[in-house]
Structure 1
């Protein structure tokens, strides 16, 4: 009996038009195994609505075709359900897909579905909002807000925004509680890592695991701007944990308090949160094809 699979396609993720996706699915997905349906999203949040409808239907697998933001929308609906998720990465950074070693070549990613291997991963909560790859406060949240409005989406646009803003951004004071232990930190940014990387193989927490029931709280301390290239190099070399400007705490019950409300990002999507943020983890709550 064939499995029903729904492909939810974000037509603009990563700055790439996705009109070619249906033909790739028709060509490379084994129709002896799958009965496929394809729907293109039309507005923010549409992917979640489509995935929620799939959960209450006889669809077996929901495939997210887009970046980490689209993955988040779909996964929010599928988390803790009986449905399985698949990923066809088409974003700017593709952090979760890279961590799971899902091919970035769309053809190969679709072909992988024909030999489906299912794993379970943890999910995180950020004041009850779900995330699956990375959430953050500070400079990366500031950049995410700017990037969301930038017409030059993609890795190049992200780097341009970073270099434009980095010199003038001011570090902030935070109180961080991790499983009862309390720390006072002045931080340029704080990243809550479920996987090891932001995307594009920039690893902030090289030993983070998607299935250990823990989250890594990565504190990036204020640093001289001229040190940024070295810090960036360490991330791409999986050596960020060895930097004097990076401190990593690991736990499952986390609370972060800052002086005022402000921006955050959840899987790269900008939001505005109060000054107190409660962070939790749901172990092995999402089934994924890899």
Structure 2
């Protein structure tokens, strides 16, 4: 019996035109296995609404065709249900897709969907909102806010924004509680990693696993500005964990009190959280094709 599959397409993610994506998918999707449908999003939050309706209708597979924000919206609707999610990566970072080794090429990504190979991954929860790849407070959250207002996006735009903002950014003071143990830290940023990387193969916590029921609290300590390129290089060489400027604490229940910064990001999407953040993990709650 054929499986129902819905492709939810963000037409503007990654600055790439996707009006022809349905014809590409029709060409390479295994029609003996699937009965496909295609829908384009029209606004922020629309992908979540469409995915939630598809879950309620009992759709077997719901595919995110977009970037990390689109993936987050759809995964937030699919997690905890009997539906499974797939990803056709089309964003600036594609963090979760790369962590799952999903090809960036559309044809190859669709061929992965044809394999019907799924695995459960964990869901992170921050003050009631979900994340699946990475959440954070501090510099990366600051950049996500700046980046969201840019008309020209993409990896190079992100890098340019980071370099222009770092010279004026001030580290913050935090009280961090992980599984009942307290830490007082001054931090440039704190990333909560469900996967090893932010995206673009920039690894903040190379030992993080998507399905271990644990989150990695990655505390990046203040460092001399001249060492910023070296800090970034460590991420791209999977050696971040060896830096004296990075501390990683693994845990399941996390509480962060910020004395300076209230901006956060969830899978790269900006938000506000107030002074106190509560974070937990929901193990093996989302089935993902890979």
TM range (shorter): over 0.9
User: 1:197: which partner in 2?
Assistant: 197
Q: 8 Å contact 1:260–1:274 — kept in the other structure?
A: no
Contact persistence 1:261–1:272 (CA under 8 A): no
Q: Assess if the C-alpha contact under 8 Å between 2:172 and 2:261 holds in 1.
A: no
Name the counterpart of 1:180.
Answer: 180
Q: Which residue is 2:139 aligned to?
A: 139
Conservation of the 8 A alpha-carbon contact between 1:7 and 1:37: yes
- DSSP-derived class of the 2:196 partner: coil
- In structure 2, list runs of 5 or more residues that go unmatched: none
In structure 1, distance between residues paired with 2:5 and 2:47: 15
State the superposition RMSD in angstroms.
0.7
- Work out the number of aligned pairs and report it: 290
Asked if structure 2 preserves the Cα contact closer than 8 Å seen for 1:61 and 1:85, the reply is: yes
Could you tell me how far apart the structure 1 residues matched to 2:211 and 2:22 are?
32
Deviant stretches of 4+, over 4 Å: none
Q: How does 1:227-242 map to 2 (within 5 A)?
A: 227-242=227-242
Aligned mates of 2:174, 2:57 — CA distance in 1: 44
Task: Note the alpha carbon deviations across 1:40-62, whole angstroms, 9 max, x for none.
Answer: 00000000000010011031110
Q: Distance in 2 between matches of 1:108 and 1:147?
A: 29
Residue in 2 that maps onto 1:166: 166
Aligned to 1:253: 253
Q: Distance in 1 between matches of 2:261 and 2:195?
A: 26
Q: If the length of structure 1 is used for normalisation, what is the TM-score?
A: 0.99
* Structure 2 CA distance for aligned equivalents of residues 22 and 215 of structure 1: 36
Aligned residue in 1 for 2:79: 79
Aligned to 1:8: 8
Deviation at 1:199, TM superposition (A): 0.3
Unaligned runs of at least 5 residues, structure 1: none
Q: Distance in 1 between matches of 2:58 and 2:77?
A: 15
Alignment partners' CA distance in 1, 2:179 and 2:94 = 30
Task: Identify the residue that residue 210 of structure 1 maps to in structure 2.
Answer: 210
